[in-house]
Amino acid sequence: MTELNLDALKECTTCGEFKPYTEFYRAKQYKDGWRTQCKKCISEYNKLYRLANRKKLLEHYRFYRLTNKEQVAESQRLYQRANKEKVAESKRLYRFANKEKIAEYQRLYRLKIKRKGEDERR
């Protein structure tokens, strides 16, 4: 393997700019050991890809969650434990942004309970 020359520049095949190697990702499968696109172009590409395939990706995640329930629950538990404050904050923000939705949900829930009680009395 050749030594990395930090002064050398590499041309990005997407934006055509010459950038230092620190702006590229390593990739064993390429013959010079580096990706041909710079980091910026790759993140741009990923962003566009996610946008264009949002539905497919959501579907994929949904399927993943269904088939890996235990792993997903476990990793959520670990995440929540490690990020207590962040999780609490995002819950707070969610409640704030969805006040009406939550109120409506609670109203329906109470109605359901009430009805259930009435059914049982009959």
Whole-Å CA distances, 17 to 5, 9, 21, 23: 18, 9, 12, 11
- What track of x and - describes contact with Zn ion for positions 40 through 69 (by CB under 5 A)? -x----------------------------
- Report if residue 15 touches Zn ion, rule: CB under 5 A: yes
Q: Binding segment for Zn ion among 10-18, 69-77, 90-98, 109-117 (CB under 5 A)?
A: 10-18
- Report if residue 36 touches Zn ion, rule: CB under 5 A: no
CA separation for the pair 20, 50 (Å, rounded) = 27
- Report if residue 24 touches Zn ion, rule: CB under 5 A: no
Q: Binding segment for Zn ion among 30-38, 53-61, 70-78, 97-105 (CB under 5 A)?
A: 30-38
Tokens of 11: 């041309």
What residues contact 19, with CB distance under 8 A and at least 6 apart?
9, 10, 12, 38
- Report if residue 14 touches Zn ion, rule: CB under 5 A: yes
The nearer residue to Zn ion, 43 or 53, going by C-beta atoms, is 43
Q: Binding segment for Zn ion among 12-20, 68-76, 98-106, 114-122 (CB under 5 A)?
A: 12-20
Which letter, b or e, does each residue of 58-74 get, where b requires 16 or more Cβ atoms within 10 Å of its Cβ? eeeeeeeeeeeeeeeee
**Which spans of this chain sit near Zn ion (rule: CB under 5 A)?**
12, 14-15, 38, 41
